[in-house]
């Protein structure tokens, strides 16, 4: 199975530069996701890989072979679209058979392989139905079967689940992952849904404005974001400007502008330049006002409270600015209450602030 | 009808009266037994229907009209379908200008178009009358073809073509195996619209018809200039009935909603 490589891809629509020097590698049989906000260039990247959009410069390689100028119909990649893009005039069977017929596969074999694939995606019963008459979930299965049946070297997905309801999304993503592993297909998957992305990917690429911010395993992206952008993206909501004051007790000693002291685990390396500490709302402990003088303590007062269904979320006014903190169901604090926040040392992530 | 607004009902009745009233008068006059158009007819007869066939020019010009309409419509589709496709799918610079040019025959008065065609093709270029007529009719129906095809292409998602391409189908073949089958309804609607437009055209044809070659509407025009009998009314009834039968057949086989899709 092949490895996909993007080398210094620049791409634009007219004069509008969308991708800048984009490098990406999807290893043999891996499932890699492109995650990023709307308009950051995820679809554009996929279109360059598929050959629908010609890159201004840079290269697309599959197993070292140059695909940059190869026409899209001769790449042999499967592409699954957000809108399904089924052929409206064909029934389910003919939709799935389309790619094989283009390849002049013998009639009998087309029948065998299509029926087999319909069985795999659980659509055998709908074989003769017109594609227009299917539900969203069924359409997406047809689209998946249609892309898989040609045994593609590479499978590309552009937000394939975003038109489905929440329950079906979860079901389908498990299925996509199962099929990808069953057929061991190198996959590039675009989404802006974090949970979806983390749950099915071997590796995740976080994109921002046409450049890659971080390429890593989902667990690392979640716990060790590499930039403030990624941190914000994966749910870090509190950021402090910090100065490094050396090490003690095996921990980094940090101090904020107002003198508040913090600690962070030493497994993190200190980035050069300005230093930013990031903490998730659920990592901060919230208690009644009581100071012990330990590191990581911040005094504040509740400015705003929202109910999340499981616990409350508070906006807390502090000398370090407004912080977002999640609290338990029991004994909620009321607006105006004075409180003490504690940031546990091992929950503080240190980032360089460009 | 449910209990409606009486003012609205009166308004609708009035509209129908003005739309269908004249048709009713023509239809009634067609069955008249007298030698001139009269309403209400004083006696009833079918002799003016028989007279349509007695005037051989009607059948001859009808055949010319039919040939011109079929060929012109066909040519307009051969030119119009690829043109509409190119306009809808590519970001060609000056697309607006191109669109305007393709639609311009609708804006230029038919009389002007007819006169120019006569002058340049027939008189200066020596193109025979039939061919000049064909060029003229192709030009007047082309905008209809492009418009109708364009709107059905606008409803056809480009991603579907890309899906076909990613599955190994070359771009040119995608047009035939994926795009065309899905705009069939538009092509059909364009054909009917263009055909009817061509069959009815007077302003362009009036300049281009020459010795021995004329179209049915022009022949009807020259007939009423010379004769006042109800033959024209009878012929109108035949044409209306044919068109209605045609529409009925389409409705039965394809469904009229087929075109509204
Ligand atoms: N056909 C086009 N012509 C001009 N600009 C385009 C075109 N397609 C996309 N763009 C622009 O390119 C940028 C990146 O678009 P792209 O579709 O790659 O975003 P995306 O990351 O897929 O976003 P989304 O999550 O909304 O799908 C956007 O600013 C968009 O406006
Ligand atoms: Mg997109």
Whether B225 is in a domain gets the answer yes
Ligand 2 center–CA A46 separation, angstroms: 9
pLDDT digits 0-9 by tens, A295-321: 888 988 899 988 888 888 999 999 888
**Residue A312's beta-bridge partner residues?**
A307, A327
Whether B13 is in a domain gets the answer no
* Residue found by looking up tokens 């019963």 in the block: A125
pLDDT digits 0-9 by tens, A318-343: 988 899 999 887 778 888 889 999 99
How many CB atoms are closer than 10 A to CB A125? 9
Q: Computed from CA positions of residues B223, B227, B231, B233, in that sequence, does the dihedral angle turn out positive or negative?
A: positive
Q: How confident is the model at residue A292 (pLDDT cuts 50, 70, 90)?
A: confident
Q: CA A40: distance to chain centroid?
A: 12
Taking the Cβ of residue A265 and every Cβ of chain B, the question of whether any pair is shorter than 8 Å is answered with: no
Ligand 1 pocket residue status of A172, Cβ below 6 Å: no
Q: How confident is the model at residue B2 (pLDDT cuts 50, 70, 90)?
A: low
> A143 contacts in B (CB within 8 Å)?
163
pLDDT digits 0-9 by tens, A6-36: 999 999 998 899 999 999 999 999 999 999 9
Sorted by sequence, the CB contacts under 8 Å of residue B29 that are 6+ apart come out as B37, B38, B39, B41, B230, B233
Q: In the β-sheet with A349-352, what is the strand arrangement from edge to edge?
A: A261-265, A251-256, A238-248, A275-279, A349-352
Ligand 1 pocket residue status of A210, Cβ below 6 Å: no
Q: Is the pTM of this model over 0.95?
A: no
pLDDT at position A287: 86
Q: Quote the ipTM score.
A: 0.84
Structure tokens at B237: 């009834």
How many CB atoms are closer than 10 A to CB B111? 13
Whether B9 is in a domain gets the answer no
Q: What is the arithmetic mean of pLDDT over B144-165?
A: 91
In 3D space, the residue among B182, B141, B157 whose CA is nearest the CA of residue B88 turns out to be B157
Nearest CA to ligand 1 atom 16: A41
Whether B111 is in a domain gets the answer yes
Ligand 1 pocket residue status of A141, Cβ below 6 Å: no
Look up the CATH number of the domain holding residue B74. Answer: 1.10.3720.10
Sorted by sequence, the CB contacts under 8 Å of residue A165 that are 6+ apart come out as none
Of B159, B168, B182, the CB nearest to A102: B168
How close A86 comes to chain B (CA, Å)?
6
- B165 lies in which domain range? 46-260
Q: How confident is the model at residue B104 (pLDDT cuts 50, 70, 90)?
A: confident
Coarse DSSP helix, strand, coil percentages of chain B, rounded to the nearest 5 percent: 75, 0, 20
pLDDT digits 0-9 by tens, B186-216: 898 889 889 988 998 888 898 888 777 888 9
Sorted by sequence, the CB contacts under 8 Å of residue B6 that are 6+ apart come out as none
Whether B72 is in a domain gets the answer yes
Nearest-Cα residue of chain A relative to residue B184: A89
Taking the Cβ of residue A102 and every Cβ of chain B, the question of whether any pair is shorter than 8 Å is answered with: yes
Whether B189 is in a domain gets the answer yes
Of B160, B168, B181, the CB nearest to A85: B160
Q: How far apart are CA A124 and CA A106, in angstroms?
A: 21
Q: Which of residues 145-184 of A touch B (CB under 8 A)?
A: 146-147, 150
CB–CB contact B163 A74 (8 Å)? no
Ligand 2 center–CA A39 separation, angstroms: 7
| Res. B261: pLDDT tops 50 | no
CB–CB contact A98 B164 (8 Å)? yes
Q: Computed from CA positions of residues A10, B85, B186, A101, in that sequence, does the dihedral angle turn out positive or negative?
A: negative
| Res. A354: pLDDT tops 70 | no
**Is residue B232 within 8 Å of residue B218, measured between CB atoms?**
no
Percent of chain B at pLDDT above 70? 94
Structural domain count, chain B: 1
| Res. B3: pLDDT tops 60 | yes
Mean pLDDT of chain B: 86
Whether B30 is in a domain gets the answer no
pLDDT at position B255: 59
Instruction: List domains and CATH numbers for chain A.
Output: 2-228 (3.40.50.300), 236-352 (2.40.50.140)
Q: Cβ-count burial of A197 within 10 angstroms (0-12 exposed, 13-18 middle, 19+ buried)?
A: buried
Nearest CA to ligand 1 atom 30: A39
CB–CB contact A81 B163 (8 Å)? yes
pLDDT at position B258: 53
Whether B40 is in a domain gets the answer no
């Amino acid at each position: 199975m092949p490895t996909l490589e993007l080398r210094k891809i620049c791409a634009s629509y007219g004069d509008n530069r969308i991708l800048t020097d984009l490098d990406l590698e999807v290893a043999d049989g891996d499932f890699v996701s492109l995650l990023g906000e709307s308009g950051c260039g995820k679809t554009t990247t996929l279109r360059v890989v598929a050959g629908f959009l010609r890159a201004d410069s840079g290269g697309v390689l599959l197993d070292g072979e140059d695909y940059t100028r190869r026409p899209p119909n001769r790449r042999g990649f499967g592409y699954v679209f957000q809108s399904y893009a089924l052929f409206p005039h064909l029934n389910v069977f003919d939709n799935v058979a389309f790619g094989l017929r283009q390849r002049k596969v013998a009639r009998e074999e087309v029948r065998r392989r299509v029926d087999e694939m319909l069985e795999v995606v659980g659509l055998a019963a709908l074989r003769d139905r017109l594609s227009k008459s299917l539900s969203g979930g069924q359409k997406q299965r047809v689209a998946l079967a249609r892309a898989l049946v040609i045994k593609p070297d590479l499978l590309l997905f552009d937000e394939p689940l975003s038109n489905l309801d929440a329950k079906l999304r979860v079901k389908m993503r498990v299925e996509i992952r199962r099929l990808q592993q069953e057929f061991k297909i190198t996959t590039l998957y675009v989404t802006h849904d974090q949970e979806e992305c983390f749950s099915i990917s071997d590796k995740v690429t976080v994109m921002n404005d046409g450049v890659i911010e971080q390429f890593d395993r989902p667990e690392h992206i979640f716990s060790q974001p590499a930039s403030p952008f990624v941190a914000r993206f994966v749910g870090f909501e509190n950021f402090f400007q910090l100065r490094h004051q050396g090490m003690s007790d095996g921990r980094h000693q940090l101090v904020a502008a107002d003198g508040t002291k913090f600690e962070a685990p030493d497994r993190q390396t200190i980035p050069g330049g300005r230093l930013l500490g990031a903490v998730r709302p659920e990592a901060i402990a919230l208690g009644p006002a009581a100071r012990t003088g330990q590191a990581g303590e911040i005094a504040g007062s509740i400015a705003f409270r929202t109910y999340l269904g499981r616990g409350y979320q508070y906006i807390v006014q502090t000398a370090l600015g407004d912080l977002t903190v999640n609290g338990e169901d029991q004994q909620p604090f009321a607006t105006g209450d004075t409180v003490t926040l504690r940031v546990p040392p091992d929950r503080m992530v240190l980032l360089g602030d460009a | 009808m449910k209990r409606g607004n009486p003012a609205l009902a009166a308004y609708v009745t009035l509209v129908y009266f003005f739309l269908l009233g004249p048709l009713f008068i023509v239809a009634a006059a067609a069955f008249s037994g007298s030698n001139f158009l009269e309403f209400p007819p004083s006696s009833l007869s079918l002799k003016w229907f028989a007279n349509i066939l007695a005037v051989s020019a009607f059948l001859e010009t009808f055949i010319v009209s039919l040939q011109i309409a079929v060929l012109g419509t066909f040519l307009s589709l051969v030119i119009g379908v690829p043109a509409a496709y190119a306009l809808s799918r590519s970001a060609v610079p000056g697309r607006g200008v191109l669109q305007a040019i393709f639609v311009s025959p609708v804006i230029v008065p038919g009389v002007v178009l007819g006169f120019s065609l006569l002058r340049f093709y027939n008189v200066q270029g020596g193109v025979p009358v039939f061919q000049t007529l064909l060029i003229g009719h192709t030009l007047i129906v082309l905008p209809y073809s492009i418009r109708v095809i364009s709107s059905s292409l606008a409803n056809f998602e480009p991603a579907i073509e890309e899906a076909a391409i990613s599955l190994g189908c070359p771009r040119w073949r995608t047009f035939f195996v994926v795009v065309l089958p899905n705009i069939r309804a538009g092509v059909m609607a364009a054909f009917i619209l263009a055909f009817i437009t061509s069959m009815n055209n007077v302003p362009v044809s009036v300049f281009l018809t020459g010795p021995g070659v004329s179209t049915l509407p022009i022949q009807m025009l020259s007939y009423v200039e010379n004769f006042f009998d109800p033959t024209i009314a009878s012929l109108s009834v035949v044409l209306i009935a044919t068109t209605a039968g045609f529409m009925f057949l389409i409705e039965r086989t394809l469904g009229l909603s087929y075109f509204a899709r």
